Structure 1
Amino acid sequence: MHRLIQLAQDFYQSALDKHEARIINNILKMESFDPVVNIAPDTIRNIAIVVPTLKRYAGGHTSILRLGTNLADKGYKVTYISFHNQNLDQMSSVAHCNLPCVKGSFAQYKEAKKNKYDVCVATSWESVYWSKQLSGYKIYFVQDYEPYFFKMSERYLLAQKTYELGFHIVSLGKWNMRQIQKQCNVIGNIDAIDFPYEPSEYKNKPRDFSAYMHKKTIAIAVYSKEEGKRIPNLLQGILQKASEELAKDEINLRINFFGFKKNHKLTIGENYGKLGKEELAKLYEKSDFGMVASMTNISLVPYEMIAVGLPVIEFREGSFTDFFPEDAAILIDFNYMTLVNAIKKAVRNPDKIEEMTKKARVAITSLSWEKTSDEFIEILCDIERSKKKCRN
């Protein structure tokens, strides 16, 4: 058995090494690592947004589509370019699945290289290297500090290098910007725009928090993924021990994970897989708490939970408090007894949970994708103004 496990581990590591080598070698074929010379265009109308293979239910991809759609609504010509040369019909189908109202056209990288753009927006570390080969003023739309996605490796180093290549960095929220400024030698402009959500898609449903005092089964909707930044193993370990401890007081934890692939094996709870908006709404409605580990930049999930009135459990070690007041969620650490005590205290004091959820909702009342897109457009206008100022 040990021999079989070792063979499986060796096979996995070999496949991972080949995957990493393929990515690195593709970049080395075209990359000199010289910073770009970012020359502001006279006017900005034609915008390229460089993406990998678009995937269904990918929150980051949906955010990119929201930004592009809002830019298109304001009169910009927007093209989403797949540097993986994704099939265009598939690209469009996935985009419309993630955002039915999506606007803009789709193109493969091999064709896009022939076109001229006023601005070229990279959306991930890998896309930065592909974006350098396209025309236009270079912007890097940063949704997370991506070196943290990897162990210290070639991908870690090349991801970190992208912030030092002279792109105009636009960070979704200030947490990324602080990491970049702390870890990297930034030579281009850097700005931050608000991390938003789409309020029209979420309805707050009143909850009877007083009923929490009498609950013997507490349902928790837990967001996690296979990725290390979502601490999948830590989460399961904490919840396993917390569940066993709460059972001593005849409190049953019903743990429902979402975000994993459906075939991912869990040590505790039920795996709902990747969910669409309607399925998520149903899960949130039947849950008593939502739990997220925002260990790098915050995700949309806590915003969704807060918007529908679901009390949130988050980690002190993560980025939640960079976006919300401390008393907008139940904050825990890696000690499972912290979670146990927090749940016991919460159900004994339902008025405190209600007050917490109200404070959390207040924190998001001014947010929307339209407002954040307007902040992005203001940056585009500043780029145009800088050109005119240089002329004068």
Structure 2
Amino acid sequence: MMARPRAGTAWASKVRQEGPRELAARVARRTYRRLDAGRLEFPLLEEDVADSAAVSAPTPVPVTGALRVGWLVTPPGLGSGGHTTLFRMVEAMEAAGHRCVVVLYDRHHGDPVTQASVIREGWPDMRAEIRGVDEGFADLDACVATSWPTAHVLARRATRLHRFYFIQDFEPFFHSRGADYELAAETYRFGFTHIALGHMVQDRLLHEVGASSHMVPFSCDTATYRLENLRAREGVVFYARPGNPRRGYELGLRTLRELHRRRPEQTIHLFGDDAGDTDFPVVRHGRLTPAELNALYNSVAAGLALSFTNISLVAEEMLAAGAIPVVNSSPDARADLDSPHVAWAAPSPGALADAFCRVLDHPDPAGRVVHAAGSVRADNWARPGRELVEIVEAATAGGLAGGPRGSMPTLEGAEGRSGS
């Protein structure tokens, strides 16, 4: 009878057969499932999950003049694009004379002092008070949910104030079809006043769940991202987001691998999150400040800006700096940036690499750079901020028609509103 191999010998054999990285990954996956660690990623405490059939929605008292507006957010990391857009809206409300309060919701109960310091460091122009959600909403006239988890919290914890929902993407698409998908879709039935960023979000709200909304347009940070280099450019850049499926990280790596095979002389730059080794040469920049990123965009010929839901702000920021963005073509991605200066392509490595090659082979690269940079929206987020202020002021004063279940709403009584 053959003796069973000792544990150490069996382990060594598995390492030889599978390789240490693959074996470690398999062990990690098994441990993850055994401990049900996925529930730690669920963004809500169970008591904060709301049910649209039971959400209380009393009509709040109209308020005019200077408002006290809360913005219910999850704690950001430095450089978060979604928080950057959101905090621009906060600054617009502050510039219009309203007091703003950033209300932090963290189901893991992180250190609020540290979280507040990150916000102060990353967004120094925003003056809003910062507090934890347990400090409540009693002194506020209105509060704005900013993601599907915070919409659930707002529905459960605050009922007697004006409630808004600033929607930057159709967030059910962040999940596979299942319970979390429906929890995200459920938030559009809570009866809040919806403010959609761009046509894609407004159209998806209406056609997927029958929810109407008020739209504010996209814009571009032209104070930071601008054309500074008319000389020859070399190389391409990719924003690496391996933990964010809608930004297509794996497809991006396959595309860049194919581009390197075709054009090995082109330098490939990666910035963002470091997800490990690649089998082709890259220059890793890690996290960059906006100014550093603008300098990088000004040095390269093109950049990869994949987006499988709403268009990434990265694409137009690249354009502003003269780097031609290569983007997967889809109705959602094109709804708010249908630009002839974007290199649109089917979402496959070969098609995207073809688009890169067309950019690199353009007969007039200097002229194309100038036209591309001149095509971006030049209001520097002033217009969406102004329109959001108008919506909030009108709704809190009781002069905004329509609702999330009705026909497309319109502003009424815009003339003579207090606080505008």
1:381 aligns with 2:381: no
1:166 aligns with 2:191: yes
Shift of 1:71: 0.7
Shift of 1:72: 1.1
Q: 1:42 to 1:86 in 2, by over 3 A?
A: farther
More helix by share: 1
Give 1 or 2 for the bigger CA radius of gyration: 2
Shift of 1:311: 1.7
Aligned residue type for 2:46: N
1:199 aligns with 2:222: yes
Pick the aligned partner of 1:287 from 294, 300, 313: 300
Query: In 2, Cα distance between the equivalents of 1:73 and 1:291?
Result: 35
Aligned-partner SS, 1:48? strand
Pick the aligned partner of 1:17 from 32, 38, 49: 38
Give the unaligned 5+ runs of structure 1.
213-217
Listed as ranges, the matches of 1:35-74 within 5 Å are 35-37=55-57, 39-44=59-64, 45-74=67-96
Q: How many residues align?
A: 374
Shift of 1:357: 5.3
Aligned-partner SS, 1:386? coil
Aligned-partner SS, 1:223? strand
Q: 1:78 to 1:220 in 2, by over 3 A?
A: same
Give the unaligned 5+ runs of structure 2.
1-13, 403-412, 414-420
Pick the aligned partner of 1:89 from 90, 105, 113: 113
Q: Is the 8 A contact 1:222 1:290 kept in 2?
A: yes
Aligned-partner SS, 1:350? coil
Aligned CA RMSD, in angstroms, stands at 2.8
Aligned residue type for 1:381: E
Q: 1:27 to 1:385 in 2, by over 3 A?
A: closer
Query: In 1, Cα distance between the equivalents of 2:169 and 2:279?
Result: 28
Q: 1:338 to 1:67 in 2, by over 3 A?
A: same
Deviations, residues 340-366 of structure 1 (Å, cap 9, x unaligned): 43344333333267347515632412x
Q: Is the 8 A contact 1:140 1:168 kept in 2?
A: yes
TM-score (norm 2): 0.80
Q: Is the 8 A contact 2:43 2:149 kept in 1?
A: no
Q: 1:340 to 1:129 in 2, by over 3 A?
A: closer
- Highest RCO, 1 vs 2 (Cα 8 Å, sep ≥ 6): 2
Give the corresponding residue for 2:102: 80
Query: In 1, Cα distance between the equivalents of 2:130 and 2:94?
Result: 13
Aligned residue type for 1:241: E
Aligned residue type for 2:302: F
Deviations, residues 202-244 of structure 1 (Å, cap 9, x unaligned): 3321423xx46xxxxx411112302110111111112212321
Give the corresponding residue for 1:241: 258
Shift of 1:149: 1.2
Query: In 2, Cα distance between the equivalents of 1:334 and 1:112?
Result: 45
Identity score, percent? 20
Aligned-partner SS, 1:101? coil
Give the corresponding residue for 2:407: none
